[in-house]
Chain A
Amino acid sequence: MNRIVVNCLIAVAVVFSSCEDVINPQLERAEPVLVVDAWINNLPQTQTIKLTRTQPYFQNILPPTVTGATVTITDEDGVVFSFVENNPGEYEWVPAGNNVFGTIGMNYTLTVQTNGETFLASARMGRVPVVDSITFFVQKGNQFIDDLYQAEFWAKDPEESGDAYWIKFFKNGVLQNKPSEIITAYDAGFTKGGNFSGVEFIPPIRRAINPFDTDANDRLLSPYQVGDSVSVQIHAVTEAAFNFLNEVSIQTNRPGGFGELFSTPLANVSTNIRNANPTGSKAIGFFNVGAVSGLGRKFNSLDDLTEN
């Protein structure tokens, strides 16, 4: 909800002009911290857990990797999935044949052993609804804005409240992954308190699968053109992971300008990684296990457009 409101307020404020300068402030030094990036799903593909360390904020290089760790996931029946380090810091589990990872409703525990310390996290694999269809519509332009061809996916959240999702989308096979493109849903709405359950995802979520970019002249580009393909994936996430993703969105999706009037203070996002030894060193990051559903469609011609 907050995000929609902020976007509205920004619309109000563009009446005035603001300006921004890139600066290089001095930041406090800090010791690196272990980062666990473990988002596991049931797609028939290699599952990867990345171990890295934090780096100084302005260090614009790939983060340092953590090698030589032992990484396993254990389900509630005691079945162990071992993740093997095939590239430095990247620990992989490859499903055999047509198998996929996990069972919906099962609890999983992640164990990471590195530098003599053990880090743990747990998650329950959630369910997802199927994506019924993808449609295209056009928002007619004017002398300032081109016609904007946009996609909309249709899926119905199952009955009974308590499902949370991370919705990812791909344009021509490429994951669209800007901070502004983090799409989350609790049931069919934005928040737990929203009480949208058992219905079609609400329109701002259905229509969030559109990448908005500008050209060199700051002219807004149509998210899709004839010939482009779009695919959408709904990933089940735990409630903790849902909160985490929303925090990530708040902390990273900074449109700037007047939006800053309504920004909240910079704060650390949450984590579900804990050290087996409570007095041991700290780790951050997130572990989630979830089912995935998906659908793709190519925008073949303008005949594909439906009434807006």
Chain B
Amino acid sequence: MRFLLLFLFFPLFLSAQNRATLSGYVKDASNGEALIGATIYIKSMSTGATTNVYGFYSLTLDPGDYEVSFSYIGYGTQVKTIALTGNVRFDLELIPEGTQLEEVVVSSEKEEQGAKSLAMSVNRLDIKTITRIPAFLGEPDLIKSLQQLPGVSTVGEGASGFNVRGGSVGQNLILLDEATVYNSSHLLGFFSVFNPDAVKDTKLYKGAIPAQFGGRIASLLDVRMKEGNNKKHEVNGGIGTIFSRAAVEGPLFDGKGSFIVAGRRSYADILARPFVDLLQDGAALNFYDLTGKANYNINERNRIFISGYTGRDKFFFDKNQGFSWGNNTGTIRWNKIFNDRLFANFSGVFSKYDYSLQFGENERDNFRWNSSVRNLTFKPSFSYFVNTNNEISFGAEVNYYSFEPANAYGTSNGTRIDVSLPEKYNLETAFYLGNSQKVSRAIAIEYGLRFSHFVGLGAGTQFIYNDTVPGVRRTPINERTFAQGEKMISYQNLEPRFSIKGQLSEQSSLKASYTRMAQYVHLISNTTASNPLDVWTPSTNNIKPELGDQYALGYFHDFGKDNMFEFSVEAYYRATQNQIDYIDGADLLINQFLEGDLLSGIGRAYGLEFYLQKKVGKFTGWATYTVARTELKVNGINKGEWYAARYDQTHNLKLSGFYDINKRWSAAANFTFVSGTPATFPTSRFVMQGILIPYNAYDSRNNVRLPAYHRLDVSFRLEGKTVKKNGNARKNSDYWVFGVYNLYGRRNPFSIYFTQGDDRVAAGSPINSEARQLAIIGTFIPSVSYNFKF
């Protein structure tokens, strides 16, 4: 199969004879940061290219003299005359325009605007935009900002992660400089692990995911860190309500390299200490993270990057009791330009997520539990710029996983018992080949194929479970043990990807795509919001890989002066297989027979996403509206009939606006309206052994809807003075942000739950029952933060 494909692509390699290549890097003149998605355009030929994630471009043309324009939003366009007699290497730095011209950019691609670009179902969020969106407690947050985009939702405040086009939290692949981030949250879900000071670029693929990526069936969030300023040293920082942050960046080796180190720490515990005696010696209640990156230009053709992240949340009641969780990632990358048309990147990645829980004040009685998931990845990827019409990408990805569900022991009155579960080892390998092709002036296509292969490796034990009534715990009836390194199970999938753009006019286009994705590792979570102790588990003989097929169709239209407005509407349909669900009363933690508590089903999600953005002017912003449905069908739940997923939201409206009042003051607001998410209500009640138990006579799941959720947030930003009293320009810059989250203090329902009253009931007396509606944030929350740069 793979050979066949190579054969198909082969003519493209041949077609590129006797031509010359213009290639190089495009960077920011102020700090040397590579510009991702900058446009290189040759008007006389009506052709061009965009820079890749490392800022590299390559254009192969007939020899000749060309006027080439280099442009990037927010930067001055430069036009250069280049004599292309042979291959030319041309690196360029673009100069950023004044801050007043800064734009809010949330677009499908920056310069090649909405309608013109081939990309669909992709949203890019500029870090400048993230810092302007009014934020909870005034802390700009990447994941919360994503939730302002069409097709992205969450089950509520405090919930970790996000849901994309009807996918669950564990179906998103989150990459930080190519390293998988297994849990993107700090402090449950109130903040995310990404430090905005260290983030350069964020791209969310909701569909039409290139063949280069795989492993999750709903979406890909590709977060790229800043490289660091290679011109001068710079310090950024901020002091906020809940945490403070600082970042240092600067040149290395005379500007041949650069670095950035950024850190944050919360101080809830420090602030609380005077008031809370409960925080004894060793008590902690905080989170921190540290993000760093360095790069070095070996020569024109070789560049290396090293980046890493470490972060941890700690909740300790005293030095022996509490729990903590955190991610650690490390990435080494080598950019190699083999020749002017073959760009390669080799990445070696390490990622680990772990948590630990410990109880017991003394040695006679205690409990210790650690759990982790680790992976090592090697990922060579190649871009071959065949000619102006074809860019082939190919490569591989090898992932070695080890899952440690429980390394745990308990001591009861001096007797110690090991309750650890065996580690699981897996190897996931993928090869991909894709081509982005301009077929004609009106039609462009991108197609690719990914072949993925997953192996479970010994040592280990496989359990075979009995068949029983669906929805009831299955018990193991047989088991099989495997030796070290022995193959326990293997799965493989072909994942075709295809997208096409038809340009209807200069301003409008139609796009369509099909994406198949396979997912071999699964987040096991049966709670409303996913929590830090949720377990990642690999596919086994009992857990089949999840599969997702997504079809999307979109219409894109740019209009207004200088195409200042961008409009799009996209429809999607996603069908999934082997979705994981859970029996009632499932025990998911430290359970060696976990698989007996899992159910498997299918899912369908469909929706229509509208998006309108105004990109320039004193007033900028966007409006999105999504109407959607997400349903699951699982044998053993809801009598085996379709039911709405917990994160199903019929109507989802988001408005984000930014207004520059004057040179120093600017205002921002966002408004969210989401129709109620599903919930399960009882019909009846009964009493058993003096306890009141709710009962649903129809055995239904998610049979009602919660009331709608809506919220308005506002913020004002005050830029510090740019000149000193004596009239000289200030070297430093700073700004204040004043914000209010949930301005009109709505008690938005997170859930409605049913319970007997809190009072004790005397035997033989009737028991009261009631329904309670819970709001996570019950009031408006003001905040202030101070941010500086010098």
B768 neighbours in A (Cβ, 8 Å): 60
Contact across chains for A24 and B694 when beta carbons are under 8 A apart: no
A56 neighbours in B (Cβ, 8 Å): 683-685
Q: How far is the CB of A11 from chain B (nearest CB, A)?
A: 7
Contact across chains for A55 and B685 when beta carbons are under 8 A apart: yes
**1/0 per residue A162-206: CB within 8 Å of B?**
000000000000011111001000001101111110011111100
- Chain B binder among A91-99, A118-126, A265-273, A293-301: A265-273
Asked whether A15 is an interface residue with its Cβ less than 8 Å from the other chain, the reply is yes
A265 neighbours in B (Cβ, 8 Å): 528, 646, 679-680, 701-702
With A193-B592, A262-B527, A263-B528: A54-B277 Cβ-Cβ less than 8 Å: no
Within 8 A of B (CB), among A34-83: 35, 37, 39, 52-63
Majority SS at the chain B contact face: loop
Contact across chains for A32 and B277 when beta carbons are under 8 A apart: no
Contact across chains for B683 and A30 when beta carbons are under 8 A apart: yes
Q: Which of B683, B686, B747 has the most CB of A within 10 A?
A: B686
Q: How far is the CB of B322 from chain A (nearest CB, A)?
A: 8
CA distance A263 to B683 in the complex (A): 19
Q: How far is the CB of B267 from chain A (nearest CB, A)?
A: 12
Of all chain A residues, the one with the shortest Cβ separation from B775 is: A19
Tier of interface size on chain A: 35 or more
Contact across chains for A33 and B697 when beta carbons are under 8 A apart: yes
Contact across chains for A55 and B190 when beta carbons are under 8 A apart: no
With A23-B771, A35-B688: A243-B585 Cβ-Cβ less than 8 Å: yes
Contact across chains for B701 and A12 when beta carbons are under 8 A apart: no
Q: Which of B360, B756, B774 has the most CB of A within 10 A?
A: B774
- Chain B binder among A100-108, A109-117, A225-233, A250-258: A250-258
Task: Select which of A143, A257, A269 is within 8 A of B774 by beta carbon.
Answer: A257
Contact across chains for A60 and B593 when beta carbons are under 8 A apart: no
Asked whether A20 is an interface residue with its Cβ less than 8 Å from the other chain, the reply is yes
Contact across chains for B688 and A261 when beta carbons are under 8 A apart: no
Contact across chains for A54 and B686 when beta carbons are under 8 A apart: yes
Of all chain A residues, the one with the shortest Cβ separation from B317 is: A11
A201 neighbours in B (Cβ, 8 Å): 412
B753 neighbours in A (Cβ, 8 Å): 254, 256, 260, 263, 266
Within 8 A of A (CB), among B206-251: none
B684 neighbours in A (Cβ, 8 Å): 30, 32-33, 54-57
Task: Select which of B357, B593, B683, B751 is within 8 A of A193 by beta carbon.
Answer: B593
Tier of interface size on chain B: 35 or more
Contact across chains for A16 and B776 when beta carbons are under 8 A apart: yes
Asked whether A302 is an interface residue with its Cβ less than 8 Å from the other chain, the reply is no
**1/0 per residue B568-602: CB within 8 Å of A?**
00000000000000101111111111100000000
Task: Select which of B158, B417, B526, B691 is within 8 A of A261 by beta carbon.
Answer: B158
Contact across chains for B681 and A266 when beta carbons are under 8 A apart: yes
Contact across chains for B526 and A144 when beta carbons are under 8 A apart: no
With A193-B591, A268-B584, A285-B686: A25-B771 Cβ-Cβ less than 8 Å: yes
Task: Select which of B527, B529, B755 is within 8 A of A254 by beta carbon.
Answer: B755
Q: Which of A35, A252, A262, A284 has the most CB of B within 10 A?
A: A262
With A18-B775, A177-B690: A261-B697 Cβ-Cβ less than 8 Å: no
Asked whether A222 is an interface residue with its Cβ less than 8 Å from the other chain, the reply is no
CA distance A154 to B419 in the complex (A): 21
A269 neighbours in B (Cβ, 8 Å): 584-585, 693
Asked whether B159 is an interface residue with its Cβ less than 8 Å from the other chain, the reply is yes
Asked whether A142 is an interface residue with its Cβ less than 8 Å from the other chain, the reply is yes
B756 neighbours in A (Cβ, 8 Å): 179, 252
B412 neighbours in A (Cβ, 8 Å): 188, 196, 199-203
A28 neighbours in B (Cβ, 8 Å): 681, 683, 697-698, 703
Q: How far is the CB of A9 from chain B (nearest CB, A)?
A: 6
Of all chain A residues, the one with the shortest Cβ separation from B763 is: A175
Question: Lowest 8 CB-CB distances: which A-B pairs, in order?
Answer: A19-B778, A30-B697, A200-B413, A30-B683, A193-B591, A267-B584, A54-B684, A142-B277
